[in-house]
Amino acid sequence: MTAVTDHTEHDERGERSGSPDRFAEGPEEAWDDGLIARRVAEGRQQRLAETAVRAYAPSRQPPASYEGPLCDRLDALRELVGLSRTRLDADTLAEAGRVLDESAARRELSGRHTVVAIAGATGSGKSTLFNALAGVMISDTGVRRPTTAAPLGCSWTDGAAGLLDRLGIPGRLRRRPLQGPGADELKGLVLIDLPDHDSAAVEHREHVDRILGLVDAVIWVVDPEKYADAMLHERYLRPMAGHAEVMFVVLNQIDRLPGDAADQVLDDLRRLLDEDGLALGEHGEPGATVLALSALTGQGMEELRESLSQFTRARSAAARRIAADLDAAAERLRPVYVAGASTGRNRGRIGLSEEAREEFTDRLAEAVGAATAGEAAERAWCRNAVKACGDPWLHLWRWYEARRSAEGSTAPLAPGPVDEEVTARQRVEHAVRAVADEAAAGLPQPWGQAVREAAVRGAEGLPETLDLLAVRAGVPSGRPPRPNWWPAAVLAQAAMSLLQVIGGLWLLAQVIGIATPNLGVPVLLMLTGILGGPCVEWTSRLAARGPARRFGREAERRLREAAAGCGRARVLDPVAAELLRYREVREQYVRVTGARAPLW
């Protein structure tokens, strides 16, 4: 049959020639010129319409079956996308979403059919191969380029309407193969003839790219002249290397090669495919099937038919295609989920170490002045002890000296509190940055950024909150607790003061003549009081060091714990929540890849 120039006329004749009735009425009518059909148009068109409805109308076909591991991986990808939407942009998750959508759409359609696309470059002979497999002239062949302008579909079994609708192939471009001996061996096959992938028409290339993302398998047809074409290898074969199990690579037109040249070209083609990373199933292992044939002469066609027959009977192409899409999507998402090599204390682990938490608490305690507050509490306790147990005459002298020093000093007060406030704020900011960097070490960029943002959000208002804590949890108001020896020391100091008073009054009485002169006893009493008072004060100071230190440490501990609790609630807990989210998505990513152990 000669090539038809007008595409619309070709479609109409193809629909008549491709109908089942055409082959049922004998070979003579099978190759008529359309005149007989026009003479009986009224009855025949009705039968053609009914046949088309039966062949392509939706029917209750069993849906595609995805086994347990594949279902688990798809569920994991769905969970992964859901957990990542707030952390990753839509473009990053677009491919994963497309895989989920297409897998769900394919699962709802027939599992008894295997959709295989025939793709190739201009002049490679893919339409001739399509016709040879169908056993009838369905797709145009000829020297006019491009010959195939739109995808054509050919189904060997009924019930493929939903699959062809998904590919966007209209009813006028759907055909049936020759129904004769050998047709049952391709039962379940849905064959798609694609336009040239290197066509000058943009819409042709768009058809190819769109349908290649939807079919279950691909037959790549190459010829001896263009099998090494860079566009084919760089744009299609290399990016689709992970889909080797659902890929056929056919070297066509070997009838044009003399002698053993076909074997040499086939070996070179295998070499190029190996460089593309395409696994070749040459010895029974999973991989692409590579064949050499001539669609024009029929040489090697039986081997291709046998391979396609085994492929379609397995009914696993759809699941293998989805699994390959999952692998590709997982590999594309790897940089945003797989942690890099962490360094420092977090090497080999995700999260904050105890050492990092302790350092963060120490920095907050330093910023809030916990140690200074403890020292102040210790000094305050010592002052109270000295005030209660000290010599009153020495207290009076110290008060006088302090007042005289204050009156003589005219220097202005230095702006210490303002400087201290700025320094404390800087310390808090530095502590937050340090703990955020420590927590984000080794994480992928989006999750490390999320950890840092959580820490920065929590640090807003943290210095002011720590200032309030310093006031509330610092040195307690009221009188500090006193040890058991305190009353005895106070009583001893009071006794020393009383001895001084008694001795002094006794001497005064002797001077004015009221008492009998006797200097020994009153002087002894006064000396005892004068010397005993400082001794009692000095002893009290020594005895007060231990309780004062404990009191200061307790004050420092309270302030430190208050600062640590505030830092934990505002910074560490949000950071831990982000790390927990990352652990969850990491576990889901491991499930998506199908790996039994972590990938890092």
Instruction: Calculate mean pLDDT across residues 167-196.
Output: 88
For residue range 489-522, list pLDDT tens digits in order.
Answer: 777 777 877 877 887 787 788 778 787 777 787 7
Mention every residue, 6+ apart, whose C-beta is less than 8 A from residue 247.
217, 218, 220, 240, 278, 288, 289
Which residues on neighbouring strands pair with residue 175, listed in sequence order?
A: 154
The predicted structure's pLDDT at residue 421: 58
CB half-sphere exposure, 94, CA atoms < 13 A:
4
H-type helices in 218-369, by residue range? 230-231, 261-275, 301-314, 317-337, 354-368
What share of the chain in percent tops pLDDT 70? 76
The DSSP annotation for 145-166 comes to SS---S-EEEESSS--HHHHHH
Q: Environment class of residue 401 by beta-carbon count within 10 Å: exposed (0-12), middle (13-18) or buried (19+)?
A: exposed
Q: Is the pLDDT of residue 453 over 80?
A: yes
The angle at the Cα of 353, spanning 350 to 354, to the nearest 5 degrees, equals 155
What's the one-letter identity of residue 233? Answer: H
Q: How far apart are CA 568 and CA 20, in angstroms?
A: 76
Is the separation of the CB atoms in 103 and 179 below 8 Å? no
Work out the number of other CB atoms within 10 angstroms of the CB of residue 223. Answer: 21
CA atoms within 13 A on the CB side of 45: 8
17 alpha carbon, distance to own chain's centre: 54
Question: Domain-by-domain residue ranges, the chain?
Answer: 61-112+315-337, 114-314, 350-402+416-593
Residue-level pLDDT at 233: 95
Higher pLDDT pick, 147 / 32: 147
Contact by Cβ (8 Å): 383, 479: no
What is the model's pLDDT at position 322? 95
Q: Residue 477: what pLDDT?
A: 55
Give the residue among 128, 414, 115 at the shortest CA–CA distance from 299. 128
Per DSSP, helices labelled H in 460-519 are 462-472, 486-511
Q: Rounded distance, CA 221 to CA 291, Å?
A: 10
Q: How far is CA 177 from CA 293, 300, 428, in A?
A: 20, 20, 77
Whole-angstrom Cα distance, residue 174 to residue 138? Answer: 10
pLDDT band at 21 (very low <50, low <70, confident <90, very high): very low
User: 39 falls in which pLDDT band (50, 70, 90)?
Assistant: very low
3 state DSSP class of 177 = coil
- CA-based angle 261:265:268, to the nearest 5? 140
Q: Give tens-digit pLDDT for 306-339.
A: 999 999 999 999 999 999 999 999 999 999 998 7
The better pLDDT of the pair 248, 477 is held by: 248
What CA–CA distance (Å, rounded) separates 55 from 175? Answer: 9
CA atoms within 13 A on the CB side of 38: 6
Q: Token pair of 521, please?
A: 């006893």
Give backbone dihedrals phi and psi of 190, rounded to 5 degrees, phi first. -120, 110
Mean pLDDT of 366-378: 78
The CA distance from 551 to 362, in Å, is 20
For strand 152-155 and strand 189-193, is the pairing parallel, antiparallel, or unpaired?
antiparallel
Can you tell me whether residue 252 is helix, strand or coil? coil
Tokens standing for residue 384: 């109270």
Is 211 buried (19+), middle (13-18) or exposed (0-12) by CB count in 10 A? buried
Choose among 176, 177, 181, 221: nearest CA to 54.
Answer: 176
Quote the pLDDT of residue 420.
56
403-443: per-residue pLDDT in tens? Answer: 777 665 554 444 445 455 567 778 888 888 888 988 988 89
pLDDT at 485 over 80: no
Q: Look over the chain and give the mean of its residue pLDDT values, rounded to a whole number.
A: 79
Contact in structure between 76 and 588 (CB atoms under 8 Å) = yes
Helix/strand/coil for 115: strand
Q: How far is CA 338 from CA 330, 341, 446, in A?
A: 10, 10, 11
DSSP element (H, E) containing 292: strand 289-292
Fold observed for domain 114-314: Rossmann fold (3.40.50)
> Rounded distance, CA 544 to CA 550, Å?
10
Give the C-alpha distances (Å, rounded to integers) separating 477 from 112, 242, 333: 83, 73, 59
Amino acid identity for residue 467 in this structure: D
Bridge partners of 251, per DSSP, are 222, 292
